Chains A and B, each alone.
Chain A
Amino acid sequence: EVQLVESGGGLVQPGGSLRLSCVASGFTFTSYWMHWVRQGPGKGLVWVSRINSDGRSTNYADSVKGRFTISRDNAKNTLYLQMNSLRAEDTAVYYCARDPTVTGIDYWGQGTLVTVSS
């Protein structure tokens, strides 16, 4: 069974940092690109970042470029999102998602909530 389990969310003050993790199981992690997508309260889906299968190529949304870093540890089947200089507008549920590249994102985790507030 395919599973993507996010963790690391929580309450953080503006300007603070947080690292999200996503542990993958039930599929060959190294065969997939991986994404982070977020959803603010009552809002739509917003793509954040993606990383290719070997971790050498990354892309970011303009809104997080320079503040967020996506990475992966293929030995641990784990995807990360390091979030620095957090702002109130970064408050959202953050979803980890896999991408076999042929179809685009085909499976999502259940998400982890990040709240940026003083």
Chain B
Amino acid sequence: EIVLTQSPGTLSLSPGERATLSCRASQSVGGSYLAWYQQKPGQAPRLLIYGASNRATGIPDRFSASESGTDFTLTISRLEAEDFAVYYCLRYGGSPTFGGGTKVEIK
């Protein structure tokens, strides 16, 4: 079973700053089968990125993502007020697995 480890657990930043979130897989994910989600309180997760680096429909270009082997990164270039939330990575295909999440909070 693939385990996804997200870091840091919490990221304290100010609006306008750059956020870099990490998701490390315990073994090869294979085929870039990795997605990123944003979740706000009281809401279901919202798809941001799929295929490791493809933005979902309607996602602003300040969100970008990349992969390097078993390391995946979500970058928010300039944080806006609505970006403060919890972010999860998901490995899909086979038996889907979520990471534990990174909370991006206002500093």
Chains A and B form a bound pair: no
